[in-house]
Amino acid sequence: MDKKKIAILSNVTVDMVAAKLRKKYSVYIPDGFDMWITDVLNDESALYSNNIQAVIILLDGTEFRSLRSGEEFSQRVALWRNATEKLIEKITDIPIFVSTIDFRESAIRTYSERKYYIEWADEWYQFVQSLAESKKNVYVMDILQRILNEGRNSFYSNKMWYMGSMPYSKNGIIAVVDEISKALSAVFESRKKIIALDLDNTLWGGVIGEDGINGVELSEHKEGARFYDFQLRLLEMQKRGILLAINSKNNCEDAMEAIENHPHMLLRKNSFVSEKINWNDKSSNIKEMETELNLTEGAFVFIDDNPVEREVVSGQCPDVLIPEFPVDTTDLVDMAEKLYINVFKSLSLTDEDKAKTQMYQTEAKRKAIQSSTLDLDDYIKVLEMRADIHLMCDEELERVHQLCNKTNQFNLTTKRYTQKEISDMLADVRYDIFTISSSDKFGDNGLVGVAICERKEKAVVIDTFLMSCRVMGRKLENVIISELVKYYKGQYNTMIGLFVQTKKNIPVVKKYDELGFAVVSEDESGKTYSYDISKGCEKVNSYSEIIFNGEHK
Amino acid sequence: MDEKFLNVVAESLEVDVDEISMATEYKNFEPWDSMAMMSLLMDIEEEFNVSIPIEKIGKVKNLQDLFNLLKD
């Protein structure tokens, strides 16, 4: 696969940072030291022509040690601010990360003189944060927090600064590369979705079956607070769309009693999408959850204090991420933060994310109906399924981008598109991007599917066809194809479907066959199918309502 | 120690150890540019647990000079 192209704009020498990132990315940096502002202002710059897919503005405050007055400072920062604003005016559709800044003011001040570095850092932060809040493609890369965590003495090197205007030490370079890599992985890589948690000595201290609800360690202060703070981090993740589940060997009643009634539990029954509290093998519990929630093994993180349990799960479920459990549980809170940053942190919070736990919980209720009604059409009728299919509008960009990059199972071609590529297609008359939303009597599922159709000369080609795993198995794909066939009838005779196999899209290997498409050709890269539009397509009658709108909004 | 030094240098400059010797010159060996010199310093300072003063670095003409700094 081609390396993604990124640009790093900086006021210091970042060649060594770029060199490390080049293992994974194609990295553009402007020629010449501190040329980033000139580069931003130059319309002819490769920055704007090179198919760059993400931009990092990485600013360093070491040069402020050489400034002699607050006025010099203000001028310098005004320049940075203007250049940043200019860049954001010009690039509106690919992610731009703007760093926070550690201003390293001189320390030669008496105990009573004013120092400025805190307010300078704050002023810059306010500026960057307001950009992130007002522009949908701007994000904050908080390098300042990283420097504080690493410690300046370890992060910087005076020698490198004076030799080559490169402020970082070897450790500093590693930290900067790591921060940039994490930001880029939030753009380009799929994220984990769910944490399966042990209970005893993980969510609280002690063993509930032996110590009882009053005996376990969990409190807002002192020792018990290490579990309270850990739960708080988990709750914060849950509110950002990360699912939580329980995977514990316990008597269910004992454990639920603590979960429901312990005065300091932050995570209650409604925080979890699945509770496996039994004496079964924990790996089979995880496999059950996969089926129950329609998630792949690779979506799971498993946290357990017991190394034997971790070993068992890692042997049986190799794709589950199993972090080391801290030997000293005072480090639980750090572990949670690191885990979040490494595998969950996303660019921004969508409405779907906020309601995710609830969506999965209603899904469980739906499953309960499904097991009592055998026929799929009956089930769809009982659910009162509704579908709304329309041509994508600008406001849906973020969610469509998220789906294109996160959907693994029901994804016929698994093409990962950047926001820019999607908005280019949106503006291009050759492409019709349809979004699919669905709802049922338990609630709104939101925007759950995307179909990108390319108008070729003789046929319409389904370039991308994907659906969130939450709504699989409800004939929504039949609804979509039937509506698309109706829409393109009269314009085209043939609809082409493409299937590209990945490790994860096994559930849809036969999807086009099931939908009545015929195989035209096949090679290692995948299959090409065709559908005769003139023969029409059967309507799905079990849906309570199907709205289709092929007009551009 | 000579051997270890050359290995560290080769790895830092991302070249084969056969391509360099103590006589390799800063001016005449392409992979050893000013940027590589900075990485190289960081690597040997870490590897040999030394700190090389900036004054001495300007006088380095070949790897032997650099190696001698480790012993000062």
Residue A20 has pLDDT above 90, yes or no: yes
Picking from B35, B46, B57, the nearest residue to A170 by CB comes out as: B46
CB contact under 8 A, A170 and B54: no
For A251-284, what is each residue's pLDDT tens digit?
Answer: 999 999 999 999 999 999 999 999 999 999 999 9
Distance CA A95, CA A88 (A): 10
Q: How confident is the model at residue A117 (pLDDT cuts 50, 70, 90)?
A: confident
Question: Could you give the count of Cα atoms lying within 13 Å of B27 in the half-sphere of its Cβ?
Answer: 4
Q: Which of residues 39-78 of A touch B (CB under 8 A)?
A: none
Interface of B with A (CB under 8 A): 34-35, 37-39, 41-43, 46, 51, 54, 57
**Strands A386-391 vs A300-303: parallel, antiparallel or unpaired:** unpaired
Q: How confident is the model at residue A314 (pLDDT cuts 50, 70, 90)?
A: very high
Indicate the SS3 state at residue A466. Answer: strand
Mean pLDDT, range A113-133, rounded to an integer = 93
- Closest-approach residue (CA) in chain B for A15: B35
CB contact under 8 A, B42 and A157: yes
- With 0-12 CB in 10 A as exposed, 13-18 as middle and 19+ as buried, what is A135? middle
CB contact under 8 A, B38 and A163: yes
- Closest-approach residue (CA) in chain B for A166: B38
Mean pLDDT, range A111-130, rounded to an integer = 92
Picking from A16, A159, A162, the nearest residue to B39 by CB comes out as: A16
Predicted pLDDT of residue A553: 58
Predicted pLDDT of residue A497: 95
Q: How confident is the model at residue A463 (pLDDT cuts 50, 70, 90)?
A: very high
Which range is least confidently modeled, A55-59, A207-211, A386-390?
A207-211
User: In terms of residue numbers, what domain contains B13?
Assistant: 2-71
Q: How confident is the model at residue A39 (pLDDT cuts 50, 70, 90)?
A: very high
Predicted pLDDT of residue A405: 87
CB contact under 8 A, B35 and A162: no
Q: How many CB atoms are located within 10 Å of the residue A91 CB?
A: 21
Predicted pLDDT of residue A49: 78
CB contact under 8 A, B42 and A15: no
Residue A521 has pLDDT above 70, yes or no: yes
Predicted pLDDT of residue A178: 96
Residue A105 has pLDDT above 90, yes or no: no
Amino acid at B44: I
Predicted pLDDT of residue A68: 76
Indicate the SS3 state at residue A97. Answer: strand
Q: Is A307 on the interface with B (CB under 8 A)?
A: no
Complex ipTM above 0.95?
Answer: no
Indicate the SS3 state at residue A38. Answer: helix
For A155-191, what is each residue's pLDDT tens digit?
Answer: 999 999 999 999 999 999 999 999 999 999 999 888 8
Predicted pLDDT of residue A373: 64
Picking from A13, A163, A170, the nearest residue to B54 by CB comes out as: A163
Q: How many separate domains does chain B show?
A: 1
Q: Is A160 on the interface with B (CB under 8 A)?
A: yes
CB contact under 8 A, A164 and B34: yes
Q: Is A174 on the interface with B (CB under 8 A)?
A: no
Predicted pLDDT of residue A31: 86
CB contact under 8 A, B35 and A164: yes
Distance CA A498, CA A506 (A): 14
Q: Is A269 on the interface with B (CB under 8 A)?
A: no
Mean pLDDT, range A518-526, rounded to an integer = 89
Residues of B in contact with A15 (CB under 8 A): 35
- The β-bridge partners of A217 are A205
Contacting residues for A346 by C-beta, under 8 A, at least 6 apart: A186, A191, A240, A241, A353, A402
Count of A-B CB contacts under 8 Å:
27
Mean pLDDT, range A341-352, rounded to an integer = 88
- Closest-approach residue (CA) in chain B for A156: B42
Predicted pLDDT of residue A116: 85
Amino acid at B6: L
Task: Kindly report the nearest CA distance between residue A159 and chain B, in angstroms.
Answer: 7
Q: Where are the alpha helices (DSSP H) in A384-524?
A: 397-406, 419-427, 476-488, 511-514
CB contact under 8 A, B35 and A16: yes
Residue A72 has pLDDT above 90, yes or no: no
Predicted pLDDT of residue A1: 61
Residues of chain B scoring pLDDT < 70: 72
Predicted pLDDT of residue A319: 94
What average pLDDT does the structure give for chain A?
91
- Closest-approach residue (CA) in chain A for B46: A170
- Closest-approach residue (CA) in chain A for B36: A16
Q: What is the DSSP letter of A55?
A: E
Predicted pLDDT of residue B37: 92
Q: How confident is the model at residue A419 (pLDDT cuts 50, 70, 90)?
A: confident
Task: Kindly report the nearest CA distance between residue B44 and chain A, in angstroms.
Answer: 11
User: Tokens at residue A144, please?
Assistant: 């300042």
Burial A260-281 (b: 16+ CB within 10 A, else e): eebebbbbeeebbbbbbbbeee
The enclosing domain of B49 has a CATH number of 1.10.1200.10
Domains and CATH numbers, chain A: 5-188 (3.40.50.1110), 194-345 (3.40.50.1000), 382-549 (3.40.630.30)
Q: How confident is the model at residue A551 (pLDDT cuts 50, 70, 90)?
A: confident
CB contact under 8 A, A163 and B39: no
Q: How confident is the model at residue A57 (pLDDT cuts 50, 70, 90)?
A: very high
